Amino acid sequence: MNKKQLIEEVARELERPKADAERMINGVIEGIKKGLKKDGQVQLIGFGSFNVKKRKARKGRNPKNGETIKIKPSKTVAFRVGKAFKAKL
């Protein structure tokens, strides 16, 4: 399912126009982004939690020429499925 299909599903479920559903979905996504930036974690009981994880600097290889390169430290977002949601899968 992609974002467009999700919007259509939410609109159908709530019996609202697609424009309203799109604003709702975008609002949820923005809320998750802000929560991750502020607290580093967003927990949705029954669904799962999003966490910011730090990656350490490391060495890698350039696939084109095989040279060793330095990869800078970075941050990424991880999602962990909640117990109730996992049980439904």
List for the chain the helix, strand, coil content (%; round to 5): 45, 30, 25
pTM for this prediction: 0.78
Q: Give tens-digit pLDDT for 5-36.
A: 999 999 999 999 999 999 999 999 999 999 99
What's the rounded mean pLDDT across residues 49-54?
Answer: 96
Q: Is residue 85 very low, low, confident or very high in pLDDT (cuts 50, 70, 90)?
A: very high
Q: How confident is the model at residue 75 (pLDDT cuts 50, 70, 90)?
A: very high
Q: Which residues of 11-21 are buried (b: 16+ CB within 10 A; e: fewer)?
A: beeeeeeeeeb
CATH architecture for the domain at 40-89: Irregular (4.10)
> What pLDDT does 78 receive?
96
Q: What's residue 89's pLDDT?
A: 87
The pLDDT of residue 42 is above 90: yes
State the distance between the two ends of the chain, measured CA to CA, in whole angstroms.
15
